[in-house]
Structure 1
Amino acid sequence: MEKYPNSGQIDGEIKALKELDQIGGIPNLIHHGMTSENKCFLILPLLNCSLRELVKSQQLSLSQTLAIGLSLIETLEKVHQKNILHLDIKLENIMVSQKLQKNSKEQLLQPGFIQLIDFGLSQTLGNSKFLKNVFIGSLNFASRASHKGESLGYKDDLESLFYVLVYLRNCKLPWSQKPSMGCKNMDIKFIGEMKASIFNTMVLCQKFPLEFSKFMQYIDELKHYQMPDYTYIKELFIKMLQNTSLSPIMDQFLNYSPVQSINQLGSSEKILIRVEQNLPNNNSIETQIQDDIIDVEAKVVHLSDLIGKYTTIQIKSIQTLNIEYDYNSSNLCITK
């Protein structure tokens, strides 16, 4: 409900929700109107909690994070096809409709389980009156172009989603814990410069598969007015999910009806996994999914994290960090 009578606070959101009616992943507008105090109101379905609240109660795995990304990409594609930009994608504006079962991934890919809300800042593409020379969005998740007051487009929603996924994986962003400079314009400028300097480096992609850096690079190459190639983007996320989910749950991904790209892969119980290591037969291995296989996330140790535990004078060589290389398994081993 509007805070003040006749303020027009939620008129834009009501208009956007009407345009996006019956799109999976967008709450249905149940009713809207005016109170006796001339305050505009709208009624939406009651959802369980936001991603902000969810990550406070449980840590999401890599495959859960990727599943959330794939679901939101499917929703954004339909929103952008209506020529609508959300412009405020952040943890608080992404909801789960029901309680998430612990370690569940297939639940996150169910149609409508992930919901994108709050279209209060949304605009249509090309609305130069509102999309230039002004900062739009959240400091942590707004695109680099928004920090510069440049024209905004489809790619800016994707960039905000990219930051959301990085946050879900790391529980922070490089700039999210920086103290405020005491002036909003200075904060906008400072954080924008941080994003510009880090984007297109591997800093944001460290805990993701290689395809995630391709997603980042693709966002960077897009023009603001250019409709993203969502088939290509979804294929990147499908590949990442296949490579991180060797369990019967993968059947759910392959038969996830809202994503046509997955359907095209078929509903077989077998998947092809490319093995990159120097094994005796370095070809595609056809692996039968078995009932007793569980989704185990690889443990990754970053050298930078280890080095940070030492003072400079203590480190003489990499052996100081007690790291050994197992040539049989091609793995780095950390010994105490």
Structure 2
Amino acid sequence: MYLQNSNYKILSNIGSGSGHQVFKVQNNQTSRILALKIEKNPNLGQLDGEIQKLKELDGIKGIPQLIDFGKTKDSKSYIITPLLKRNLQEIAKESLPSLHCTLAIGLSVIEILHQVHKKGILHLDIKPENIMISQPYINIPVDEILQPGFTQLIDFGLSQKFGHKPFLNKVFVGSLRYASRQAHKGNQLGYKDDLESLLYVLVYLRNQKLPWQSLKQQQSQQLEIKKIGEMKEAIFNTTVLSQKFPPQFSQFKQYIETLTQQTMPDYEYIKNLFRSMLSIGDQSSSAKLGCSVTLSQSIKETKQNQNTDHILMLLANLPNNDSIDIPEDQIDIETSIVFISDLISSYPTSSIKSITDIKF
């Protein structure tokens, strides 16, 4: 289907990424409000891969339905999917989700990843911007969050089939803040890397920051990738990432560490860890274990067991009290896609009346 004969009317521009834009559109026949994702330039190919992945994942709860797809007459690929409410990045900027809400979101995404991975597909870009919810707010009863379809995993533009050879040698795949340690090394990625990225997302939701956000911006992207990867490596096996979580969260982290790139995770084990954590109240002593442990203390705990002297030098410049004011993230590779239906009216739409009017 070509968009010059489109049944869709553009309502507003609601976001963009490095190679695409997202519009709120209306089906002229059904009046249904939907989301259009379209390439900025012809023949980029990224959306073609996403279309294929969405076809393969059709019917999985928590994966957006591929309603329509095609190319414009100037060869820009596009997809039409349901218009979702908000992403976790937007929510995290407004308020701190409760422990139970954070864990429920984590369990929901794990349920989705279980089904995605069973299809042999790696997402490879798990981050708050790519996790959507179907309600304006997240601090609601856990039972509602755990309903299939409440949480949606979007943007399969970087996803690959398991075992697919990298396009380039030592290529970095993902977003700097949430990419796995193996991604920083440019190694072949596996199922465990999606889980590691999810772990970082959950830590971010609880703390509204990640330790490596305190690093000064480097002179080049390659140096940025290297330094952040080194810090993740140094911190992963300490207690830093487990603060503000029950003890089972450390077990989740330790289990990720036992996996190889080729291993399919034991999802029932992981789900049971999260169910166990959800049975613990926010005010329990278990939920607050480790809150007083500082970054420097945690690093010292593992110095005897790990060869991290060169990493400790990297961390030596951090403030002694570990209380760091975190600036806005300036290092994510791709601009966040914004789905804020409440702000739609703020966009001027007089010059865009149909999909054929889109100009880049």
| Band of TM-score, shorter chain | 0.7 to 0.9
Structure-1 residue corresponding to 2:86? 49
Q: Which residue of 2 aligns with 1:4?
A: 41
Runs of 4+ that moved beyond 3 A: 101-104, 129-132, 297-301
Structure 1 pair 301–149 and aligned structure 2 pair: CA distance change class (3 A): closer
Paired position in structure 2 for 1:70 = 107
Match of 1:25 in 2: 62
Determine whether 1:302 maps to 2:292.
yes
| Counterpart in the other structure of 1:176 | 213
1: CA distance between counterparts of 2:139 and 2:186? 41
> Cα offset for 1:131?
7.8
Q: Distance in 2 between matches of 1:102 and 1:161?
A: 19
Answer yes or no: is 1:134 the counterpart of 2:141.
no
Give aligned-pair identity as a percent: 55
In the TM superposition, residue 237 of structure 1 has moved relative to its aligned partner by 0.3
Deviation at 1:182, TM superposition (A): 1.8
Aligned equivalent of 1:122, options 147, 153, 159: 159
Q: How does 1:87-106 map to 2 (within 5 A)?
A: 87-100=124-137, 102-106=139-143
Alignment of 1:151-300 (within 5 A): 151-244=188-281
Asked if the contact 2:97/2:138 (under 8 Å) is kept, the reply is: no
1:287-313 CA-to-partner distances (Å, cap 9, x unmatched) read xxxxxxxxxx769851649x967xxxx
Q: 1:45 to 1:130 in 2, by over 3 A?
A: same
Distance 1:299 1:225, change over 3 A: closer
User: Structure 1: which amino acid aligns with 2:292?
Assistant: H
Provide the C-alpha distance between the structure 1 equivalents of 2:291 and 2:237, rounded to a whole number of angstroms: 22
Partner Cα distance (1:20, 1:159) in 2: 22
Mapped contact 1:180–1:187 kept (Cα < 8 A): yes
Number of the residue aligned with 1:262: none
Aligned residues: 261
1:74–1:149 CA distance, 2 compared to 1 (3 A): same
- Counterpart AA for 1:7: L
Larger Rg: 1
Q: 1:26 to 1:131 in 2, by over 3 A?
A: farther
In the aligned structure 1, how far is the partner of 2:120 from the partner of 2:155? 17
C-alpha displacement at 1:130, in angstroms? 3.2
Structure number with the bigger relative contact order (C-alpha 8 A, sep ≥ 6) is 2
Distance 1:298 1:66, change over 3 A: same
SS at 1:42's partner residue?
strand
Tell me how far apart the structure 2 counterparts of residues 5 and 101 of structure 1 sit (CA, whole Å): 38
1:68 maps to amino acid: I
Contact 2:101/2:138 (<8 A) preserved: no
- Which of residues 29, 33, 37 in structure 1 aligns to 2:74? 37
Q: Quick one: distance in 2 between partners of 1:95 and 1:8?
A: 24
Instruction: Name the TM-score, length of structure 1 as normaliser.
Output: 0.73
* Residue 100 of structure 1, CA deviation: 2.1
Q: How many Å apart are 1:245 and its aligned residue? A: 6.7
Aligned Cα RMSD in Å? 2.3
Distance 1:177 1:237 in 2: 29
Is the CA contact 2:245–2:289 (under 8 Å) kept in the aligned structure 1? Answer: no
- In the alignment, structure 1 segments of 5+ residues that lack a partner are 247-272, 277-296, 310-336
> In 1, Cα distance between the equivalents of 2:158 and 2:277?
32
Query: In the alignment, residue 145 of structure 2 is paired with which amino acid?
Result: L
Long gaps (5+) in structure 2: 1-37, 298-319, 322-360
Distance 1:50 1:100, change over 3 A: same
Report the TM-score when normalising by structure 2.
Answer: 0.68
Amino acid at match of 1:80: H
Shift of 1:135: 0.6
